[in-house]
Structure 1
Amino acid sequence: MASYKFLLLGDKVHRILRKMIAFVLLIFTVALIYFVAVKPYKYWSNRRVKTGKFVPIFGNNAGVVLGTESFADTTRRIYNEVQDVRYYGVYQFQLPSLVLKSPELIKQICVKDFDHFLNHKNALGGDVDELWSKNLFTLKGQSWKDMRSILSPSFTSSKMKAMFTYICQKADLFAKHFIKMKGDVIEVEFKDAFTRYTNDVIASTAFGIHVDSLKDRENEFYLMGRVAGNFGTP
């Protein structure tokens, strides 16, 4: 009889333990869902900032992740989703981001108050490539300030006007290259053609070098630029 009672007691304890474990797992699951799929997406509503449609976990990037939208289409949709506002909030997965729509606000942030917005989100690791890690989109803090001070004098209104002249000259060469072909149908590899045009514009506006990469396809400036654009890979 004592053994029977002990077995019943053990079975009862076992059932209680299973219920407790199930309850703990339920609480853990609910908490996990809250902290992963609910709380991060209250960031903008808690700050009374408008948001568009988003999907928990994916944020506003569900279309790109699921393959139903290209990155360009997603960017266009996000920008046009909320109208008649100066700014509104979106979520890059769980990361809250602010979309600026007012030209005046963009100008204030990028020009007048630029020193309060030093750091960009870095898509590349700081040590991925020695050349690309030194551009304004990857530098942070004082290094960003120093580089901006170096580059700013190159983009005054007078120098931009001079650059525009060079850009037009290269565009004219670009058009004449294909006009000379005089064919009813001209097949063009756009990536190659516009890469070469961009290369020629950079050569003339930034380095004062005249090259025609559509005609001289293996010129040294283009070859060096291609190496730099491939992050140092052959």
Structure 2
Amino acid sequence: MDWLSLILWLVIGTISITFLFFKKRYAYWKDRGVEYVQPTIPLGNLPFRRKLHFKEITGNIYDRKSGKSPFLGAFFFATPAVVATDLDFVQTVLIKDFSTFHGRGVYVNEVDDPISAHMFSLDGEKWKSLRAKLSPTFTSGKMKFMFPTVVEVADRFNANLVDLTKGNGTLEMKDLLARFTTDVIGTCAFGIECNSMKTPDSEFRRYGSKAFDDPPHSTLFQLLGSIYPNIARKYFHMRVFKKEVSDFFMDTVRETIAFREENNVRRNDFMDLLIQLKNGGSLEDEHSKKLGKLTLEEVTAQAFLFFLAGFETSSTTMMFALYELSLNPDIQENARQEIEEILNKHDGKISYESVKEMVLIDKIISETLRKYPPVVNLIRKCAQDFKVPNHDVIIEKDTTVVIPAYSIQHDPEIYENPEVFDPERFSPEQVKNRHPVAFLGF
């Protein structure tokens, strides 16, 4: 047999084995009697040529729901996944059987990329331990404790806005609001004065933007990393954020902590609470418990999570809210009247208590989050084999469960005329009449 024939047989054999592998793999849901969307070799239900947002990929699957099953089977490459289509099942995953689905299946690499090891990305015992330590820092009392710091940044934002509106030019609100949230989080989470309104290209904002806009790998490679995390960590040392971004935030936290400890500086911010946990393993109040100390890497990762969770989500939510108010001047005027009336009751001062009284503003924000959810899909990973209630189906351990929040919140069967901006959807009466997990904005 000559070399050409040998190579030809090798190619034919490889193709045949690959085809048989995918054929067997793609029979996964059919063999279990589960409704599923027909996959295509080798990407499964991922688009082959068209570039689609992940909300459109999961949305296309969600739209095929028949109502007979609480979820549809799907495939991301050769990996089976669950796409939730029933609100009772969503409630089971997120609330009733949370202990089985607490993992998020987010790629993390503690060794090569320590800032990726935050509470949102960790699973299992590490997540439980970190959650126990950090939960006391997110009580309403602690948020109230930080509120004056937020108001201080807001006052500077308003002062700069007055100067900017004196000209006749157009203001880019997305950029302005991103600078505002950068300053709030920079101050509350990292204890530094960014002043992005005066210096838009500040170092903190520049590296913060890199974390979102300049990932170290392509979207496809990131997806592969989340599906095959052990291979990505062990053989490719795949990072979530570029080394320069990780180094910047590590250095920032290290320097901030050193300055505060050397000069005995205390502030009403998240960093102060993290330093307390780093040094004593508890928070300084009458109900404090020993929770175990945080390492410098853990402090940095949690401060960075505060940035990730608040920077883009808050600025885009405010941007879309302002956009909708510009399209709905009657709602805008009612919101303005509510703010003026409540501030008059509080001597014209914005406080934690006065903001809590702004019912219409709360509805506007909720409706904005419904129509424009910052997180379009919630991801959970099954920690153990799970029998779906009222169905003869087992979701196997390590199966990814996708909850398409965007699709649910735009489902006309749940929200009538879902593309219409209507804050009254969040009146107490309407909220009471909806399913508890019909709103997944946050």
**How would you bin the TM-score normalised by the shorter chain?**
0.5 to 0.7
1 or 2, which has the higher helix percentage?
Answer: 1
> Please, which runs of 5 or more residues in structure 2 have no aligned partner?
213-240, 246-442
* 1:76 correspondence with 2:87: no
Which residue number corresponds to residue 75 of structure 2?
A: 91
Distance 1:68 1:219, change over 3 A: closer
> In the TM superposition, what is the alpha-carbon distance from 1:91 to its structure 2 partner?
0.8
- Aligned partners of 1:79 and 1:99 also within 8 Å: yes
Which residue number corresponds to residue 99 of structure 2?
A: 115
What secondary structure is seen at the aligned counterpart in 2 of 1:131? helix
Rounded Cα–Cα distance in structure 2 between residues aligned with 1:115 and 1:193:
40
Which residue number corresponds to residue 45 of structure 1?
A: 30
Which residue number corresponds to residue 56 of structure 1?
A: 41
- Aligned partners of 1:166 and 1:205 also within 8 Å: yes
If the length of structure 2 is used for normalisation, what is the TM-score?
Answer: 0.37
What secondary structure is seen at the aligned counterpart in 1 of 2:74? strand
Alignment partner of 1:66 out of 49, 52, 67: 49
Rounded Cα–Cα distance in structure 2 between residues aligned with 1:44 and 1:160:
45
Structure 2 counterpart of 1:71, one-letter code? F
* 1:135 correspondence with 2:146: no
Distance 1:74 1:224, change over 3 A: closer
Question: Which aligned pairs between 1:1-234 and structure 2 lie closer than 5 A?
Answer: 30-36=16-22, 38-62=23-47, 65-82=48-65, 84=67, 85-132=69-116, 134-156=117-139, 177-178=160-161, 180-182=163-165, 183-186=167-170, 188=172, 190=174, 192-203=175-186, 206=189, 212-217=195-200, 222=205, 231-233=242-244
Distance 1:201 1:87, change over 3 A: farther
> Please, which runs of 5 or more residues in structure 1 have no aligned partner?
1-13
What secondary structure is seen at the aligned counterpart in 1 of 2:73? strand
- Aligned partners of 2:62 and 2:72 also within 8 Å: no
Distance 1:223 1:185, change over 3 A: closer
> In the TM superposition, what is the alpha-carbon distance from 1:34 to its structure 2 partner?
2.0
Rounded Cα–Cα distance in structure 1 between residues aligned with 2:145 and 2:45:
41
Larger Rg: 1
> In the TM superposition, what is the alpha-carbon distance from 1:193 to its structure 2 partner?
4.0
- Aligned partners of 1:118 and 1:145 also within 8 Å: no
What secondary structure is seen at the aligned counterpart in 2 of 1:98? strand
Rounded Cα–Cα distance in structure 2 between residues aligned with 1:52 and 1:161:
47
Rounded Cα–Cα distance in structure 2 between residues aligned with 1:81 and 1:162:
47
Which residue number corresponds to residue 279 of structure 2?
A: none
> In the TM superposition, what is the alpha-carbon distance from 1:150 to its structure 2 partner?
2.4
Rounded Cα–Cα distance in structure 2 between residues aligned with 1:195 and 1:61:
32
- Aligned partners of 2:74 and 2:82 also within 8 Å: yes
Distance 1:123 1:26, change over 3 A: same
Distance 1:166 1:113, change over 3 A: farther
What secondary structure is seen at the aligned counterpart in 2 of 1:99? strand
Rounded Cα–Cα distance in structure 2 between residues aligned with 1:28 and 1:89:
28
% identical aligned pairs: 28
Instruction: Kindly provide the CA deviation profile for residues 42-95 of structure 1, in whole angstroms up to 9, marking residues without a partner as x.
Output: 112222222234323111112xx5244233432433343425353222111111
State how many pairs are aligned: 210
Structure 2 counterpart of 1:110, one-letter code? L
Rounded Cα–Cα distance in structure 2 between residues aligned with 1:34 and 1:94:
12
Compute the RMSD of aligned alpha carbons.
4.4
Rounded Cα–Cα distance in structure 2 between residues aligned with 1:168 and 1:86:
45
> In the TM superposition, what is the alpha-carbon distance from 1:138 to its structure 2 partner?
3.1
Rounded Cα–Cα distance in structure 2 between residues aligned with 1:111 and 1:208:
34
Distance 1:58 1:102, change over 3 A: same
- Aligned partners of 2:108 and 2:122 also within 8 Å: no
> In the TM superposition, what is the alpha-carbon distance from 1:99 to its structure 2 partner?
1.5
What secondary structure is seen at the aligned counterpart in 2 of 1:115? helix
